[in-house]
Structure 1
Amino acid sequence: MLPKSPLEDPENAAYAWARYRRLMRFMFLATLGVVVIAMALLYTQNDNLSPHFFIAVALGIGFSMMLMSALMGLVFLSNGTGHDESVDNRLPRHDED
């Protein structure tokens, strides 16, 4: 029988997902700050840049930071709730030949 994951408990899951959403809100604000600072630096340091360049840089920085935040947040969620320990890994090891 497989061990039960702590995320199967609705109370634990609600707490974990609330913590994840709080982390994502914080990272969204941090990302927004980094994008604004990057846009200000690019605007003041360079002349005659296309608006498309600013859009591309803002989207690139924003998407990259939010994707990394989401993935790391899921790692923290999985580890912090004990979901990692509930994995049943009874497969034979390949290095035991």
Structure 2
Amino acid sequence: MAPRSPLDDPENAAFAWARYRWLMKLMFGITSVAVVLSLGFLYWRNGMVSIHLYIATALGVTAAMMLMAALMGLVFLSSGTGHDEAIDDRLGDQAKDAWDEID
């Protein structure tokens, strides 16, 4: 049976998810600045070409940065709370030995 995850404790989980939400809000602010800068650069280099270019650029930059932030935030959440260590490692050293043989 796998050991209990620290995220099973409601107090730890609430703290971890609050930190995750704070990180996402921070990254949304940084993303907004990046979108404004990229749109400003496009306008400076090309002028007003097509509104569709600016909409696609804004959506693309926003989607890429927020997806990266969400996934990395989840990695930080699971690692920072000790959730990664709460697994049942059934292979043990066999998996490490197999990877060493590949390298």
Distance (Å, rounded) in 2 between the aligned partners of 1:5 and 1:31: 32
Distance in 2 (CA, whole Å) between partners of 1:20 and 1:63 is 18
Distance (whole Å) between structure 2 residues aligned to residue 19 and residue 48 of structure 1: 40
Please tell me the residue identity of whatever aligns with 1:55. Answer: I
Which blocks of at least 5 consecutive residues in structure 1 are unaligned? none
Give the match for residue 65 of structure 1.
65
Q: State the secondary structure of the residue aligned to 2:88.
A: coil
Q: CA deviation at 1:85?
A: 0.2
- Distance of 1:48 and 1:78 partners within structure 2: 44
Give the aligned residue type for 2:33. G
Q: How far is the alpha carbon of 1:4 from its aligned partner?
A: 0.3
TM-score, normalised relative to structure 1: 0.92
Counterpart residue type for residue 85 of structure 1: E
Could you list the runs of 5+ residues in structure 2 that have no partner in the other structure?
Answer: 99-103
| Matching of residues 67-86 of structure 1 within 5 Å | 67-86=67-86
Instruction: Say if 1:26 and 1:48 are closer, same or farther in 2 by CA, change over 3 A.
Output: closer
For 2:101, the equivalent position in structure 1 comes to: none
Secondary structure at 1:33's aligned position in 2? helix
Change (3 A) 1:48 1:15: closer
Sequence identity (%): 59
Q: Over residues 1-51 of structure 1, what are the superposed CA-to-partner deviations in whole Å (9 max), with x where a residue is unaligned?
A: 220000000000000000000000000000000000111111111134110
| Cα deviation digits, residues 56-93 of structure 1 (max 9, x gap) | 01100000000000000000000000000001120373
Instruction: Give the distance between the partners of 2:40 and 2:53, measured in 1 at CA.
Output: 13
